[in-house]
Structure formats: structure tokens, C-alpha cells
Chains A and B, each alone.
Chain A
Amino acid sequence: MDPNQKRAKAVDRVDSVDTGAASSESTRMCPFPDEVLERVLSLIGSHKDRSSVSLVCKDWYNAERWSRRHVFIGNCYSVSPEIVAARFPRIRSVTLKGKPRFSDFNLVPEDWGADVHPWLSVFSTAYPFLEELRLKRMAVSDESLEFLATNFQGFKALSLLSCDGFSTDGLKAIATNCKNLTELDVQENGIDDLGGHWLSCFPESLSSLEILNFASLNSELLLQAPQLMELGTGTFMQELVSGPVTELKNTFSNCKHLVTLSGLWDATPLYLPVIYPACARLTFLNLSYATLRSIELANLLTHSKSLRRLWLLDTVGDKGLEAVGSCCPLLEELRVFPADPFDQEIFLGVTESGFVSVSRGCPKLRYVLYFCRQMTNAAVATIAQNCPDFTHFRLCIMNPGQPDYLTKEPMDEAFGAIVKTCTKLQRLAVSGLLTDRTFEYIGKYAKNLETLSVAFAGSSDLGMEYVLGGCPKLRKLEIRDCPFGNAALLSGLTKYESMRSLWMSACNVTMNGCRELAKEKPRLNVEVMKDEGSDDSQAHKVYVYRTVAGPRRDAPPFVLTL
């Protein structure tokens, strides 16, 4: 897994396409000067299309790399910053994702890695005119934020989603130094809220800020937010979190252009009417921190008929979801979170009937994340019939391994119905009592599936084998607590290089199985995370991903690369 060797191979691949008919082809095919080709290719935005373009021939490879302005790196360890900088000289915008998704749920130890700093160091010399940086699940320190703020003069947009390691001091550095900031989006991060008044560090003359989102921070800070609203009036697309609601009455009446609204932690029913004037144009409403009841939600929704995306807490109950079904015909995305996920004594929340109500009233639904405590196969089949356009279907029946509560059968037919009916399905998360049959359905029918999340499911290796044998577009597979072993792991030998990554934890995979995979597939990193006090022959947490950068050089002691 010598990185130089890898690099040579990547280039070889392009060259070999090029030789053969190349010389005649290039004289025939490319009457354009390079500049024209670059200009044409610069209009191509999708990174998948750009990847395809770069494989056509050497000229196109070069034209593409010079014309690319945005690079998307789905796994920070699949490539090194040096390789990126060498290939793409004119990048203005970078999206970088780090830790495996299950790190959001504490399944990945701290100090696992995904430090953004090495990237920033390389970018400071390679891309001094970098304008945008979007990070997801990266480790970001205050020093890194300060480095960013002081080394990139034209920096405009920073988005930090589910990152950790920094505090409001780092945000202070950004606010103070980035004179051209148009976007600051800080969400769902594990950050130290040191209070302080980082918001006041924005210079008064800052008129460029358009997007400001810090939904997860302490509401104390947000008293200053209304002042920011006055900057750049009329062009705001801003997400606000409300603090003491009385202070915001005036701001909301000025909010004619508000498009998204989130937060409302302190919202009590008496005060909700305050935001009604702002609701008419809302397309996204995030109420996932507000313990609303069905009737409060219903009243709010009658003012919000333009909603496309809605996030709720399950305190609204099935009745609240009925209101959603009747008030929001344009709804495309619904997420229902549990107010009390760990307390099983309080039996409340939403059930299958709420979900069915929404599906009846909102046929355009394409994205659902639904946490519930009971579900039936019949209900899901109905939902699939009502909403055949699902692209993202994430159902979490919170009790692991729970069957259809009416028939007591496994939930296989539910997910079977989804994959058979929703042909555009790209992302699926399954739950409940599931046998290998579910995976047989998935492997057979889910032709467009890219991401699959599985927990506490399956009966044997066959389950995983079905998925790896089918699902032609699979890119990310994450599995926990399933009875899949080495045979299942190795059945994907030919598939993993076409995927971004595989995660398996608390399954039946052994170190020997992992070693064999690593041996057969040198272009994959097969990493095992050691657990304290666990059996040495078991591979408790396995993370497999393709890479051109070789084994990690910054791996902590508990990560073994085989």
C-alpha cells in the first residue's frame, strides 16, 4: 500500500484510456484549444459528472482539473491533502467529511482522528483564495479556526456540522477576522460554549452576512441576534433561535423574508402566535427542540402552508401529525424526534397511525426520519403506496428487535414494501425485528440504494451477503449488533472498492477475517478499533474504506490498520 505506487496507478488508469486510439483521437476529437474545453467543463457542477469527465482522456483529465472550483471529499482518509492540491490547482470551495457516522452516537472513541489542521496547512499554500469550507464530523480546534480566519483573506463561508473540539473562542476568531463572511453555519457540534460575546465580534459594518445559523448554542447569546438581522435587510435567509420570546416580537414582524426557522426552545403555547407573521413564507421549520402539543402545532401549521421541510418532537403525537397531513400538502421532508428516548415508562410519542396520516396528506414526501415505539407491516405498506417517491426512508423503532406489534411478525414485509415500491430510494435505515428476508428484498429491489444502516437485525451471514450481492449503487454500509461474520464480510471482496466505506461493530467478525480482507484488497484500509478488555480474536469495530493515500499516519494506538 505504498502511496506512491497508488498515485502511479491512478494516473496509469487515465493513460491507458488515452493510449490505444489516443493520438489520432486527440487530433480528431479536440479541435478546441484547452481554454475552450476548460470553459465548457467549468459549467459542470456535479462532482460525479466531473469524475466521469476526467476519465475520458488525458486532455479532458487536465481540462477538468484546471476548471474545477469545488472539491468534495467524502472520507478525509481516502486521499491526502497533498494529492488533492497537486491534482486540483484552482479550488475555491472544499467539502470534507471525517469520522464514520456512528461517531455521532458515541461508538467511536475520542481522538480517533479526522483533524482538519493538516488540511488547512496545505490549503493555506495551495489555495490562499479559498472561499468556502464545509466540514462534517471533523475534529476542529480553536487554533485551527484561528488559522483559518487569519490565512485566507477572501474567506466567505464556513459550515461546521457535527464537528467537535472547538469553543466559542474559535468562532470569535472567525467573526473578528473574516471581513467578507457571507455564511456561518454551526450546527449540532460538540462545542464548548464559553459564553462570551462572540456574536458581538462581528464588525458593525458587516453587511455581507446572509446565513447565520447556530441553533445548538446557548440561548443567552442569541439576544444579540436581532441586531444582526438589521444588517442586509431584505436579503436574509436566516435561521434564528429564540431566546426569551418577548424580545423577539419586533424582530418577527420585520421578518418578511424569513425562509427557515429553527429553535424555539422556550416556546410555550401562549407565545407561539408571536411567530405567525413570519410563517407564511417558511419552507423549513425546525421544531425539534420545542415540546409542542398537537393543538399548538395545528395552530402553527395553519399559518405555514408553504412548508417543504418540517422537523418535530414526538410530543405532538399522532394528532399533531394528522394536522401535518392536512395543512402541508407541499411537504417533502419530515423528521420526528423522540422527546424522551431513554425512558420506556412514559409510553407516548407517535405511532404508525401518525405516519400513515402524514403519508395520506403529503404525497410528495421524499425524506422521512421517524422515531416511534410501535409499527406494523401493513402501515408501512400503506405509506409506501401513498408516497412512492421516497428517496430517504429512515425508520427507527426504538426498542431493538421489536416485531409488528399487531401480528407479532418480523418487520420484513414493511421494508420489502418500501424497496419494491420506492424505486428512487437512495438511503434506508431499518429497525425492528428483521430476518434475512429483509435483506433479500433489499438486495433484489433497491437498485438505487446508496446508504444502508442496519442495527440489531438479520439471522445469518446470508443477510449481509444478499445486500453485497445486490444493490449496485451501494456506497455506504453501516452495521451494528448483527450476526454477520467473516463469510459475510468476505462476500463483499469485489464490492468494497466501489464503495466509500463499510462499518461493522458488535458483529461476529474476527481479526482473521479482517486480515484476510486486508490481504486480498491492498487498496482498502481495513481498520479495527480495539476495545478495552475484549477478546483479542474478535474484531469489535471494523471500518473499511477505499483510499489512495495508504494507511493512516495519524492513527491513535487503539486503531489497528491491518
Chain B
Amino acid sequence: MNLRLNLKATELRLGLPGSRSPERNPELSLLSSSKIDENSHFPLFSPKSVVSRNKRGFAFSEGTLGSNTEAHIIQSSMAASVQESHCEANDTKQNHSNAANNSNTPPTKAQVVGWPPLRSSFRKNSMATITSKKVEGKSGASALFVKVSMDGAPYLRKVDLRAYSVYQELSCALEKMFSCFTIGEYGSHGNEKLSETKLKDLLHGSEYVLTYEDKDGDWMLVGDVPWEMFIGTCKRLRIMKSCDAIGLAPRAVEQSCNRK
């Protein structure tokens, strides 16, 4: 017992100081931290179907958690019990090498093969509906999806930044994508012209600004840097209400004032 404690004290861990790695016990001792969702104990299913998409899939620390602790728990409990069994635990050696670079990218969630039960033709098509279809002739680079949220909209969308080559194209695509929300507010009686004009007013007017979160985690106004640099550094987009954008670079606030 003592020996174990000592080992724990000297253990190379991946988290921020003060975070604890869950017990390597396939049962319920993952529930120690207040952050962990009480519901997510999964003693009843076997980890045999886990396929880790990313070598970092077995990171134990909460410090690397982006958001959803539940998903993390699937990953940790699976990892814990997988180590007990003799199967897929060949990725755990990667853990220690990740200590250095565990900052921004959230750990890829370990994905269960064939779950949820959807046909692959369906999955392929559902992604297709979310992206812009401007991909003719762009077969070189792979897609670069980022999430786009709009204040007040009930859900997020995703766009492929590599599908566009200038800010104008991105802006148009976003207008199209989020038009349904703003139109909703004005009633949708199929009067196309009226709705589109209103939308343009909204996006180009003073109500909303388009912002993005860059690699350093700062929120910036879209359009400040050359396009190539932008797609290299943009992590996610947010269509923000102007009043919330005051915290951004002062230039942004001035610009929106000028538009009024």
C-alpha cells in the first residue's frame, strides 16, 4: 500500500497540478471529482469494441478535457479496463510523450466501432449536407471543418474553410446557413426578397459581427489578417452580437460604430 502511494507521488502525470488521474479500476471509482458526471459509470459493457481514433485517446488528465466529461469517462474507463485485459492497450505508451503538448486540442474521443448504429452511406451523406458544396476541383487539400455558432441560434453548424478562397465567399455561405434563424424571427411567409435583405442588414449592419477564436484562444474579428493566415489559425467561428464584441480589439468596436 505504501509502495503504491509513493509511486503515485512520483508518477509522471499529464494534468495540471491538483488534478487527479482516475483509479485504474474498471469499476466505479471514477466518481471522485466533482467535475465528473455522476451518471457516467459504465460497469456493464465491455471495452472490446473501442477503437481509439487518436494516439492520445488514453490521456487521463482532466486538464486536457475540452468539454464533455462524459465522453472522457468512456475513454478513461475503457482505457482502464482495457489495460486489465490483454487486448488493445497498445496506445498507452503514448501517454508520457503527450505531457508536453496537451494544451489546445481536445483529446479525440475514443469511438466505438459501429455505434450509433447508422449505415455508412447515411453518415457520409449527413456530413455532406452540413458543408458547402463548392468543392469542384479542390481535390488536393483535405477539408478543414470548424464550428460556427450564432448567438441566439439553437444549434451549431460546421463549415469547411478550405472550400472558400476569400472572406466574401465565407460570408455568403454563413449568411445562407444561418438565414433560417433570422428569418424565423421575422416570420417565414416565403417572401424571399424581404427576408434576404433583412438578413444582409443583420449581418452587415450593426447587430452582429463575425468573430473567430484563434490558436491562442483569443477572440478576434474576422477579416483582420490575410485569408491564408486566417484559415491557418482559426479554430472556430462565432457570429456575435455587437454589444458582446466590446471585449475585442477596439478597432472592431469603432468599425461597428461607423456602420451604424
Interface residues of A (CB under 8 A from B): 102, 104-107, 162, 188-190, 216, 265-266, 268-270, 273, 288-291, 293, 295-296, 299, 313, 315, 317, 337-342, 344-346, 348, 371, 396, 398-403, 405, 408, 433-435, 453, 455-459, 480-483, 505-508, 533-535, 540
Contact = CB atoms under 8 A, between A and B. Distances in A.
Given A341-B116, A481-B48, A483-B46, A405 B39 contact: yes
A270 B154 contact: no
A341 B123 contact: yes
B117 A455 contact: yes
Given A401-B42, A505-B49, 15 more contacts: A102-B114, A162-B119, A269-B179, A270-B192, A337-B122, A345-B67, A400-B45, A403-B39, A408-B38, A408-B39, A434-B44, A435-B44, A481-B48, A482-B45, A506-B48
B117 to A, nearest CB: 5
B117 A293 contact: no
A295 B129 contact: no
B126 A104 contact: no
23 contacts: A190-B120, A266-B133, A288-B122, A289-B125, A293-B181, A293-B184, A295-B184, A313-B126, A338-B118, A345-B68, A346-B155, A346-B156, A396-B116, A399-B74, A400-B42, A402-B40, A434-B44, A455-B115, A456-B44, A456-B45, A481-B48, A481-B49, A535-B86
A345 B66 contact: yes
B135 interface: no
Given A433-B44, A481-B48, A506-B48, A293 B111 contact: no
Nearest to A218: B128
B119 A290 contact: no
Nearest to B43: A401
A269 B180 contact: yes
B117 A105 contact: yes
Given A289-B125, A481-B45, A506-B46, A344 B109 contact: yes
Nearest to A408: B39
Nearest to A298: B188
B226 interface: no
The number of chain B residues touching the other chain, given as a range, is 35 or more
B114 A188 contact: no
Given A296-B180, A338-B116, A344-B71, A483 B44 contact: yes
Nearest to B38: A408
Interface of B: 38-40, 42, 44-46, 48-49, 66-68, 70-71, 74, 86-87, 109, 111-123, 125-126, 128-130, 133, 147, 154-156, 176, 179-181, 183-184, 188, 190, 192, 195-196
Given A344-B71, A433-B44, A402 B39 contact: yes
B117 A348 contact: no
Contacts of A403: 39
A318 to B, nearest CB: 10
A269 B183 contact: yes
Contact of B154 (A348, A457, A534): A348
Nearest to A433: B44
B34 to A, nearest CB: 17
Contacts of A505: 49
Given A105-B115, A270-B192, A457 B44 contact: yes
Nearest to A338: B116
Nearest to B177: A268
Contacts of A293: 154, 180-181, 184
Given A106-B120, A403-B39, A268 B180 contact: yes
A532 B119 CA distance: 24
A114 B36 CA distance: 46
Contacts of B176: 268
A270 B74 CA distance: 41
A324 B91 CA distance: 47
A162 B120 CA distance: 10
A49 to B, nearest CB: 32
Contacts of A338: 116, 118
A102 B46 CA distance: 18
Contacts of B154: 293, 317, 348
B68 A265 contact: no
A216 B125 contact: yes
Contact of A459 (B44, B46, B121): B44
